[in-house]
Amino acid sequence: MASEGSMPPAVLASVRRIQHALENILTLKRPGEDGYATVWDGNKYVQCGLARGGGLRCEAAGSLMQPSMARLLTVDRTERLALLGWQLDPRFGNYVTVLPANLSPEQDAMVILIALGSVYGADLTNLQVETDWIASEHCPPRNGPGQNLAGVITTRRPWPPRPCMPASSSTTPLRPWRRGQPPT
């Protein structure tokens, strides 16, 4: 998919780093912990963890916990996110998609790269990538408003906890990402 001649070397290096982070959380088994791969440029991020039933559940930065994203996430850009298979999850204000288990980590990395580049305008040659393992719980800790990467699941300096809304309170059910959706 991502080959030596199809993209600049620095972007290809980002794809490989994302792919390796995703392989880490997909293959390592740590009882009582959930793995997350986070990819970011400034406060523009996508974070993925294992989805119930397989595949990856990914969240992209939204404006509820990061009000500065409101300037970036214009109607045109949120429509682009929707075309790429991302939906607003009102629980934390992030955009969410479920990548099916039949995609390879390289394909998952490309989906993440397309969202960060075409919607968020991230610098694809300078992405930060990391994995983290967090105690399994219904409502994992997140960075809060005013913190860098607000909304991201973390244990570093999480926001004071607030009760999680149950997944059933989301206004729209998540649809799995579908190959062939136009990345406009």
Q: E-assigned strands of the chain?
A: 33-41, 44-50, 56-60, 87-89, 94-99, 128-135
Question: Is residue 3 included in any domain, yes or no?
Answer: no
Neighbours of 40 (CB within 10 A): 20
Average pLDDT of span 157-181? 47
For residue 90, what pLDDT is reported?
86
* Position 113 confidence tier, pLDDT thresholds 50, 70, 90: very high
Beta-ladder partners of 104: none
CB neighbours of 62 closer than 8 A, spacing ≥ 6? 69, 73, 88, 89, 92, 93, 94, 95, 151
pLDDT higher than 60, residue 177: no
Domain coverage including residue 115: 9-169
Question: Is residue 177 included in any domain, yes or no?
Answer: no
How many separate domains does the chain show? 1
Q: Is the dihedral of CA 15, 181, 37, 128 positive or negative?
A: positive
Question: Is residue 176 included in any domain, yes or no?
Answer: no
17: left (phi over 0), alpha (psi -120 to 50) or beta: alpha
Question: Is residue 184 included in any domain, yes or no?
Answer: no
CB 85 within 8 A of CB 177: yes
Average pLDDT of span 155-161? 63
Question: Is residue 148 included in any domain, yes or no?
Answer: yes
Helix (H) or strand (E) holding 23: helix 9-27
Question: Is residue 43 included in any domain, yes or no?
Answer: yes
- Tens-digit pLDDT profile for residues 28-87: 999 999 999 999 999 999 999 999 888 999 999 999 888 889 999 999 999 999 999 999
Q: Which residue has the higher pLDDT, 133 or 2?
A: 133
For residue 184, what pLDDT is reported?
32
- Percent of the chain exceeding pLDDT 90 equals 60
**Separation CA 27–CA 102 (nearest Å):** 15
Question: Is residue 183 included in any domain, yes or no?
Answer: no
Question: Is residue 108 included in any domain, yes or no?
Answer: yes
**Phi and psi angles of residue 41, each rounded to the nearest 5 degrees, phi first:** -140, 110
**Separation CA 38–CA 75 (nearest Å):** 25
**Separation CA 72–CA 43 (nearest Å):** 11
